């Protein structure tokens, strides 16, 4: 088998169907090349945030706040992540403006968990983060409009 990665989705279903799917997975695993080592990762499935949600957060929310503050959108995003999830200090190269060689970074981001491992936020967790950003903007006199619910069909119709 030349596949680098194979994903298998086990949906919520009745016990009989689940056993049939599990048997297919077992058959697949038994068929892997025995001369190679393989890693098998099993974790609960969650629907991660959509690309549209991400584009809205970066292209609307962070951009509006960046324009209001004079910072870059990426700097605004990092600040919002740290404000929402908290901060930790990490070592960095010493510079004239940072002689201690320590900087603050967010405990987690929209794509990494508290351990620094890839863990994209679910749709609902991302929506909660965006609602926080809208409240943050309102506190600082920056109006951040709700996402356009019709954006997906307008984009496809053009």
pLDDT tens column, 9-20: 788 888 888 899
Residues 98-151 have pLDDT tens digits of: 999 999 999 999 999 999 999 999 999 999 999 999 999 999 999 999 987 765
Dist CA 61 CA 12 (whole Å)? 35
DSSP structure class, residue 12: S
Residue 158 has pLDDT above 90, yes or no: no
110 Cβ contact partners less than 8 Å away, ≥ 6 residues apart? 49, 54, 57, 81, 120, 121, 126, 129
Average pLDDT of 46-75?
93
pLDDT value at position 2? Answer: 53
Dist CA 129 CA 116 (whole Å)? 18
Is the entire prediction scored with pTM above 0.75? no
Count of alpha carbons within 13 Å of 89, Cβ hemisphere only? 6
**CB atoms < 10 A from the CB of 70, how many?**
7
pLDDT value at position 156? Answer: 46
Phi-psi region of 143 (alpha: psi -120 to 50; beta: other; left: phi over 0): beta
The domain limits of the chain are: 51-153
């Amino acid at each position: 088998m030349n596949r680098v990665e194979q994903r298998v989705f086990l949906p919520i279903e009745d016990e009989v169907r689940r056993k049939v799917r599990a048997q297919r997975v077992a058959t697949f695993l038994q068929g892997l090349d025995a001369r190679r080592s393989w890693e098998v990762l099993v974790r609960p499935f969650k629907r991660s945030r959509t690309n549209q949600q991400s584009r809205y957060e970066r292209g609307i929310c962070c951009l509006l706040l960046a324009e209001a503050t004079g910072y870059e959108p990426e700097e605004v995003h990092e600040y919002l992540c740290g404000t929402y999830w908290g901060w930790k200090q990490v070592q960095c190269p010493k510079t004239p403006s940072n002689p201690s060689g320590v900087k603050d970074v967010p405990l987690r981001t929209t794509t990494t968990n508290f351990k620094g491992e890839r863990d994209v936020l679910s749709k609902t967790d991302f929506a909660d983060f965006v609602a926080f950003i809208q409240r943050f903007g309102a506190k600082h006199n920056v109006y951040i409009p709700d996402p356009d619910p019709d954006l997906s069909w307008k984009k496809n119709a053009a």
